């Protein structure tokens, strides 16, 4: 399976012209975040647990495969000792946590290679955070069953041989789950702040590290946007908006198309979840009509429906159909950024009305 990794995604986009002190500092800080126990175990221990080591291996193997190497850094250490004139060489196997740490903190011998060097290492950070996000999403799904099991166990008479620890097991499970979620959110904030301090125009959101050129746009539009679409039923909105940003960052003219498609997905989800969809809709405009309909309570105003429809007819539709012998539709960089930011703002507004 081919993984969409940061260094390949941004291979044609320069983020560094050489390796700087800010890079060394950031990558050391990132290795500390990943090894501290906060990322993989929610801060319940500072040790590299079996769960953390397995996670490091999974992140390592994913990036190593895409970079075409067996190990990101040395798997074995060889040490030679001498006693009574006899030399003995012993070998030691590095853990995957150590391999990943050494990969992150190693500086290039040629500082001019900084761009590719930093991208590879940001790729590992992205994979690690994305993996942890998936683990937490799975934990969300498993949580109700764990609570039911704990409630059932609480009603059963304990065996005389079993020592029951005082306290509410159900509340402990909920608290631990919530704490792990909170710690991860704190780490995402820290990662984004440290990338900003390192002078990278990058942000991590919902499994991807992407370029964010405008600091005001990032803080006012993007930062509150991504948490809203991080969970069901907004998965397609998340995927399509990430496609829009990837296309924008690589100069692909389809960026605006994906952004407005994400908005269309949001509108469809709301229409369907409210029971307003009839199955006879032929396009985005019909789903907008469902939202503005007085019979449905006027979820949006008439003027809002007109603005939304204009985005589909004037921005999205020209890219959705073949141009024939006409000139291919394109937008300027400024128009593309405006479309993405506008789609994000609309999606935030619509979800917050639910």
User: Model confidence over 13-37: pLDDT tens digits?
Assistant: 889 999 999 999 999 999 999 988 8
Report how far apart the first and last C-alpha atoms of the chain are (Å, whole number).
Answer: 37
Average pLDDT over residues 251-272: 93
- What's the confidence (pLDDT) of residue 250? 82
320's tokens:
């959705």
Average pLDDT over residues 38-46: 83
Check whether 212 has a pLDDT greater than 80.
no
Instruction: Decide which of 236 and 316 is more confident.
Output: 236
Is residue 164 very low, low, confident or very high in pLDDT (cuts 50, 70, 90)? low
Q: Taking the CB of residue 330, how many other CB atoms lie within 10 A of it?
A: 12
- What's the confidence (pLDDT) of residue 163? 47
Instruction: Tell how strand 76-83 and strand 202-205 pair up.
Output: unpaired
User: Model confidence over 103-144: pLDDT tens digits?
Assistant: 999 999 999 999 999 999 999 999 999 999 999 999 999 998
Cis upstream peptide for 233 (omega within 30°): yes
Q: With contact defined as beta carbons under 8 Å apart, do 130 and 207 qualify?
A: yes
Dist CA 253 CA 259 (whole Å):
12
Q: With contact defined as beta carbons under 8 Å apart, do 259 and 343 qualify?
A: yes
CA angle 307, 305, 338 (to 5 degrees): 30
- What's the confidence (pLDDT) of residue 154? 74
Average pLDDT over residues 225-242: 90
Mean pLDDT of all residues belonging to the chain:
88
Cβ burial, residue 241 (10 Å; 0-12/13-18/19+): buried
Q: With contact defined as beta carbons under 8 Å apart, do 267 and 273 qualify?
A: no
Cβ burial, residue 343 (10 Å; 0-12/13-18/19+): buried
Q: Taking the CB of residue 124, how many other CB atoms lie within 10 A of it?
A: 27
Check whether 223 has a pLDDT greater than 70.
yes
245's tokens:
């940003």
Q: Taking the CB of residue 38, how many other CB atoms lie within 10 A of it?
A: 20
Instruction: Decide which of 333 and 131 is more confident.
Output: 131
Residues in the chain: 354
CA angle 324, 327, 332 (to 5 degrees): 135
Residues near 20 by beta carbon (within 8 Å), at least 6 away in sequence? 114
Residues near 201 by beta carbon (within 8 Å), at least 6 away in sequence? 15, 211, 212, 213
3-state DSSP call for residue 124? helix
Q: What percent of the chain has pLDDT over 70?
A: 94
Q: Taking the CB of residue 30, how many other CB atoms lie within 10 A of it?
A: 24
Is residue 347 very low, low, confident or very high in pLDDT (cuts 50, 70, 90)? very high
Cβ burial, residue 123 (10 Å; 0-12/13-18/19+): buried
Lowest mean pLDDT segment, chosen from 110-124, 271-285, 314-328: 314-328
Short-list 97, 96, 78, CA closest to 87: 78
Is residue 246 very low, low, confident or very high in pLDDT (cuts 50, 70, 90)? confident
User: Model confidence over 51-79: pLDDT tens digits?
Assistant: 999 999 999 999 999 999 999 999 988 88
Q: Taking the CB of residue 179, how many other CB atoms lie within 10 A of it?
A: 13
User: Model confidence over 73-89: pLDDT tens digits?
Assistant: 999 888 877 777 777 77
- Nearest-Å Rg of the Cα atoms of the chain is 25
Alpha helices of the chain — where are they, by DSSP H? 6-9, 21-35, 38-41, 50-67, 96-105, 114-155, 169-197, 215-217, 223-228, 235-249, 255-273, 284-292, 302-311, 317-320, 333-352
Dist CA 204 CA 338 (whole Å):
21
- State the pTM of this model: 0.72
């Amino acid at each position: 399976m081919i993984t969409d990794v940061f260094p390949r995604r941004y291979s044609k986009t320069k983020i560094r012209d050489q390796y700087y002190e800010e890079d060394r500092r950031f990558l050391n800080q990132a290795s500390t975040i990943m090894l501290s126990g906060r990322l993989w175990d929610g801060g319940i221990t500072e040790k590299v647990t079996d769960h953390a080591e397995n996670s490091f291996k999974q992140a390592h193997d994913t990036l190593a495969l895409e970079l075409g190497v067996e190990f990101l850094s040395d798997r074995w250490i060889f040490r030679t000792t001498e006693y009574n004139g006899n030399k003995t060489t012993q070998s030691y196997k590095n853990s995957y946590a150590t391999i990943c740490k050494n990969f992150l903190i190693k500086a290039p011998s040629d500082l001019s290679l900084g761009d590719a060097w930093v991208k590879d290492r940001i790729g590992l950070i992205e994979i690690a955070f994305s993996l942890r996000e998936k683990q937490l999403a799975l934990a969300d799904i498993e949580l109700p069953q764990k609570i039911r099991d704990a409630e059932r166990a609480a009603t059963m008479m304990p065996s005389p041989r079993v020592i029951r620890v005082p306290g509410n097991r159900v509340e402990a499970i909920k608290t631990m789950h919530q704490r792990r979620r909170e710690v991860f959110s704190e780490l995402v904030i820290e990662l984004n702040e440290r990338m900003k301090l390192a002078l990278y125009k990058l942000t991590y959101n919902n499994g991807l590290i992407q370029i964010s050129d405008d600091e005001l746009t990032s803080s006012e539009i993007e930062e509150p946007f991504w948490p809203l679409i991080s969970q069901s039923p907004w998965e397609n909105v998340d995927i399509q908006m990430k496609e829009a940003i990837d296309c924008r960052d690589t100069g692909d003219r389809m960026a605006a198309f994906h952004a407005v498609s994400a908005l269309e997905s949001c509108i469809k989800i709301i229409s369907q979840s409210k029971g307003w969809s009839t199955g006879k809709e032929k396009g985005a405009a019909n789903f907008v009509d469902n939202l503005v309909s007085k019979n449905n309570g006027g979820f949006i105003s008439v003027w809002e429906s007109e603005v939304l429809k204009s985005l589909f007819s004037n921005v999205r539709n020209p890219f959705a159909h073949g141009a024939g012998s006409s000139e291919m539709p394109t937008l300027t960089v400024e128009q593309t950024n405006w479309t993405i930011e506008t789609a994000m703002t609309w999606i935030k507004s619509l979800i917050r009305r639910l």
